[in-house]
Structure 1
């Protein structure tokens, strides 16, 4: 695995642990963050045997969100000249930021987010793209952009209404208020609240280990189907499921499961094939 400015990555027992590692800067999402995140996830998918990713953080807060230097960097976004061209440049930058966070959905293995302290603005956009979210009792979340005078633009307003009731999401978006770990749990946004950061990591790693013990082909099929079903009708999703099953289902993993259960052992499954680019080895 390469080294990163914004992330520390460890892979063990089929679990990739990705930690935001800039606590002195409140793990704000600077230019390097947006560049490194999709590369990090694709490196894990391509070059490791990981079957699940856990994203956690260091320090008091999960992340303070977008580092405003991203929008003030004249190399990224020249703020002058023809308004039409400036607008087109801003649109392209926002699309690139959106694509960076969408990598959590696009990677074929589950991504679990373990959140402590503040999960603010762009950080909320990010965890909305995870498969499941867990937090410590001191966690809080906010659609901070509204309070700053702009509309959240990299995923929260598109994904959060699929995860929580519309009326609540609208209130949170219009007010920009904080919502607590307990409120997030009651609304179904997070799966579980843990008493401390240490308990949070232990709990989420335990869930990741359960996922990693299952057939990776079955798990990636679940993620593919759930993502597709979220954005399509039931009828279309059922047809896609039938097509997927006709191409991907083989009895090998089921037979390994049955044999292992009969012998009261853990089944050992073959890893998925590495993801390679068109012209890679």
Structure 2
């Protein structure tokens, strides 16, 4: 399965790769990027064989962020109705990134090279983030007189803590893959893009080998628990497991353990 510029999706077995596909423009996000991303995530969600998603980019730049020249077309009407139209458009852009977070399939962001502005919004909505040593990051919006509005300010402090998120968002400074790894934005740093893709593929394969019911349940419970208190999260996971535990996958896990073989999960 493929789509054309500016972003495409390839499916190999149980793993879908969503690929930023505008390397000649440093993978800047034009206005057509956002609905295309949401459509591809929905297709991956609907494909029963897909169990994990890798988000990566063609070329040496993960993304230079929002295409400001295209975005300027949204800033031509200063009337009250024009501002309301802009608000609604921002909400639609937010929805395309939130689709990654709300997708039941785990999403692994594999970052090579610069990841600027909207790129941080994008990867903050993913479940796992890894990068090559040549990657660097910047919440660049304050440097161009914008408030980051696609999810960084809502998600990043849950990932790296309020103080670090505030410093990075307020200064707009660059920070390296090593620093991103130390603060917890990244779970791994790899020496080069080749090693990065190998690691992303291995993580996706490891996830895909497990019970989809359990994996997708874990993602759901993690997301729910992040946004609720501990007692509410515990009640939610109790209900979730009561609904899912009596599955064919669980019986297969027991049988495989007894027979000393690798289980073959089917997601039912």
Work out whether the TM-score is over 0.5.
yes
Structure 2 residues not aligned, in runs of 5+: none
**Aligned equivalent of 1:240, options 232, 236, 240:** 236
Distance 2:149 2:197 in 1: 29
CA, structure 1 residues 29+48, in 2 after alignment: closer, same or farther (shift >3 Å)? Answer: farther
Task: Give the number of aligned pairs.
Answer: 268
1:123-162 to 2 correspondences below 5 Å: 123-162=119-158
Name the SS of the counterpart of 1:27 in structure 2.
coil
Asked whether the 8 Å contact 2:6–2:20 carries over to 1, the reply is: yes
TM-superposition CA deviations, 1:38-80 (whole Å, max 9, x none): 100111121351100001111111001101244223xxx3623
Name the SS of the counterpart of 1:133 in structure 2.
strand
Please name the residue that 2:87 is paired with: 91
Please name the residue that 1:8 is paired with: 8
**Aligned equivalent of 1:188, options 166, 184, 199:** 184
User: What value does the CA root-mean-square deviation take over the aligned residues?
Assistant: 1.5
Name the SS of the counterpart of 1:163 in structure 2.
helix
Asked whether the 8 Å contact 1:51–1:216 carries over to 2, the reply is: yes
Please name the residue that 2:40 is paired with: 40
Asked whether the 8 Å contact 2:77–2:83 carries over to 1, the reply is: no
Asked whether the 8 Å contact 2:2–2:8 carries over to 1, the reply is: no
TM-superposition CA deviations, 1:74-114 (whole Å, max 9, x none): xxx36236x22122111111111110100001110100000
Please name the residue that 2:265 is paired with: 269
Distance 2:108 2:167 in 1: 26
Distance 1:108 1:161 in 2: 22
TM-superposition CA deviations, 1:85-144 (whole Å, max 9, x none): 122111111111110100001110100000000000001100000001000001000001
Asked whether the 8 Å contact 2:107–2:126 carries over to 1, the reply is: yes
Name the SS of the counterpart of 1:55 in structure 2.
strand
TM-score, length-normalised on structure 1? 0.91
Please name the residue that 2:19 is paired with: 19
TM superposition outliers: structure 1 runs of 4+ over 6 Å = none
Structure 1 window deviating more from structure 2 (90-99 vs 243-252): it is 243-252
Please name the residue that 2:193 is paired with: 197
Q: What is the CA distance between 1:251 and its match in structure 2?
A: 4.2
Please name the residue that 2:76 is paired with: 79
Please name the residue that 1:174 is paired with: 170
Distance 1:235 1:42 in 2: 32
Please name the residue that 1:116 is paired with: 112
Asked whether the 8 Å contact 1:15–1:209 carries over to 2, the reply is: yes
Distance 1:10 1:264 in 2: 34
**Aligned equivalent of 2:225, options 218, 229, 232:** 229
Q: What is the CA distance between 1:250 and its match in structure 2?
A: 1.3
Distance 1:261 1:12 in 2: 28
Distance 1:228 1:58 in 2: 33
